[in-house]
Amino acid sequence: MRFFRLNSFTIIGLILAAIGIYGKFKGPGFQYDAGLPAEHLEWLYYIIVGILMIVNGMVLPRPIAESNEGEAVDPSARAQAGQPIRTK
């Protein structure tokens, strides 16, 4: 079982966390939002969002339902074909 999955969520989360860590040491002027005054805790927002994105990237999606023949069938395709969707 793999714990760390490298996908777009984890990469962007790592980048945001790195920006937040660098912003903590650089000061409130590092992150610049046009038209808004600099906040002293903006670095913390970047770290929190980065961590949430990393956790989101680690969550495994639910497997697609299987048909009686053993092949994977998308539930939305089954509904479009007029077949009932079985839920557990």
- Tens digits of residue pLDDT in 3-29: 567 888 999 999 999 999 998 888 877
pLDDT greater at residue 76 or residue 24: 24
3 is a domain residue: no
CA separation for the pair 52, 19 (Å, rounded): 14
What per-residue confidence (pLDDT) applies to 27?
Answer: 80
- The confidence band for 1, taking pLDDT boundaries of 50, 70 and 90, is very low
Q: Of 56, 59, 55, 28, nearest to 42 (Cα)?
A: 28
Main-chain phi, psi angles of 67, to 5 degrees? -85, 180
The per-residue pLDDT for 59 is 81
Contacts of 19 (CB under 8 A, 6+ apart): 31, 46, 50
Instruction: Give the length of the chain.
Output: 88
- 50 located within any domain: yes
Q: Which domain holds residue 28?
A: 8-80
Q: Is residue 87 part of a domain?
A: no
